[in-house]
């Protein structure tokens, strides 16, 4: 089984979808130039400077970069990304979230082995994550590891650890052992993306480098996917039509770091906490 998407870069429509179906992932896919990736990182870092001291807004920025920064909304509509995702999920697409996974220089933060869909309350697995490297992503800087074909196991049990150094909401991890070497490293240069299935086993290690490792993880779903419990999270409609009305649809941000957008995200975060922490032993607090 190949793990290198570039070997298949002349892949036909069919083979993008079939490679993804077989492996549960694709990478590396060139979606931005290095200069464009730097512009996005610069915009994010400028926003962090502007919001310095306001912990709540900084948390919202990390959880909803596409709702408060026009540059990140534009990234979720990138034609190369959408071309690939439509091959996998078809034409009618929502972005369910686009939160930033961030490891500062010399950070001990990790992500345990998990499957994404466990706590999202979606009624099908018609979801694809597009993870876009904005900085160099290597084994030393804490890249992800994917277990080829593991998405075929469908949903496996997880346990919550709430470990301090875990970037996941509940520090959740699968109760299945993953042997050393089973996961392949997903190394990317700035501007490259990986695509992965919501049932794929994946994890990531600490950042041993002097550079920040930062990426938005854009979660695409089919417009037909329903949220359990009838909740209507805030999503953006980025391709095709919406004949279902399952979600609260956000506009493209009309400006940068607008108060009205922060307020809308804050309201949505209450809806999402209900979804993500359903059945958890610990309260969700104010985590975004
Ligand atoms: O950024 C990371 O290290 C992990 C991201 C992840 O687990 C995901 O995007 O599903």
- Domain count along the chain: 1
Choice among 36-45, 70-79, 148-157, 262-271 with the minimum mean pLDDT: 148-157
Choice among 7-21, 184-198, 200-214 with the minimum mean pLDDT: 7-21
Average confidence (pLDDT) over 190-198: 98
Residue 123: CATH number of its domain: 2.60.120.620
Confidence at residue 20, expressed as pLDDT on a 0 to 100 scale: 96
In a domain, 287, yes or no: no
Of 62, 115, 144, best ligand 1 pocket probe by most atoms within 8 Å of the beta carbon: 144
Report the separation in Å between the CA atom of 108 and the middle of ligand 1, taken as the mean of its atom positions. 15
Using the structure block, give the residue that is written with the tokens 């069919």. Answer: 14
Q: Is 131 in the pocket of ligand 1 (CB under 6 A)?
A: yes
**Closest ligand 1 atom to Cα of 110:** 3
Range of the domain at 269: 11-276
Q: Is 25 in the pocket of ligand 1 (CB under 6 A)?
A: no
Q: Residue 263 corresponds to which tokens in the numbers above?
A: 């307020």
Cβ burial, residue 180 (10 Å; 0-12/13-18/19+): exposed
| Torsion of the alpha carbons at 160, 164, 169 and 174, rounded to the nearest 10 | -40
Report the separation in Å between the CA atom of 243 and the middle of ligand 1, taken as the mean of its atom positions. 31
**Closest ligand 1 atom to Cα of 196:** 10
Q: Is 67 in the pocket of ligand 1 (CB under 6 A)?
A: no
Q: Is 193 in the pocket of ligand 1 (CB under 6 A)?
A: no
Task: Kindly report the pTM of this predicted structure.
Answer: 0.93
In a domain, 281, yes or no: no
| pLDDT above 60 (res 217) | yes
Quickly state the pLDDT bin for 288 (edges 50, 70, 90): low
pLDDT tens per residue across span 233-259: 999 999 999 999 999 999 999 999 999
pLDDT tens per residue across span 47-93: 999 999 999 999 999 999 999 999 999 999 999 999 999 999 999 99
Exposure of 183 in the CB half-sphere (CA atoms within 13 A): 21
In a domain, 1, yes or no: no
pLDDT tens per residue across span 92-124: 999 999 999 999 999 999 999 999 998 899 999
In a domain, 3, yes or no: no
Q: Is 173 in the pocket of ligand 1 (CB under 6 A)?
A: no
Q: Is 261 in the pocket of ligand 1 (CB under 6 A)?
A: no
């Amino acid at each position: 089984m190949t793990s290198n998407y570039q070997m298949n870069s002349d892949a036909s429509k069919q083979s993008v979808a079939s490679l993804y179906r077989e492996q549960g992932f694709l990478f590396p896919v060139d979606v931005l130039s290095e200069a464009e990736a730097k512009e996005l990182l610069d915009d994010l870092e400028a926003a962090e400077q502007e919001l310095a001291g306001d912990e709540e807004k900084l948390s919202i920025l990390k959880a909803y970069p596409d709702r408060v920064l026009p540059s990140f909304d534009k990234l979720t509509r990138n034609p190369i990304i959408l071309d690939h995702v439509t091959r996998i999920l078809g034409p009618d697409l929502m972005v369910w979230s686009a939160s930033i996974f961030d490891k500062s220089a010399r950070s001990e933060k990790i992500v345990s082995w998990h499957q994404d869909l466990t706590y999202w309350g979606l009624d099908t697995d018609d979801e694809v994550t597009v993870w876009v490297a904005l900085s160099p992503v290597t084994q030393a800087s804490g890249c992800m590891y994917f277990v080829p074909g593991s998405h075929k196991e469908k949903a496996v049990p997880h346990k919550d650890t709430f470990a301090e150094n875990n970037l996941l909401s509940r520090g959740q991890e699968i109760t299945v052992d993953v042997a050393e070497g089973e996961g392949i490293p997903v190394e990317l240069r700035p501007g490259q993306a990986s695509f992965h299935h919501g049932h794929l086993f994946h994890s990531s290690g600490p950042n041993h480098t002097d550079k920040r490792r930062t990426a938005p993880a854009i979660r695409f779903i089919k417009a037909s996917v329903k949220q359990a419990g009838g909740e209507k999270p805030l999503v953006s409609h980025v391709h095709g039509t919406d004949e279902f009305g399952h979600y609260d649809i956000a506009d493209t941000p009309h400006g940068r770091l607008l108060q009205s957008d922060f307020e809308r995200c804050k309201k949505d975060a209450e809806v999402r906490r209900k979804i993500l922490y359903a059945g958890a032993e610990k309260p969700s607090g104010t985590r975004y």
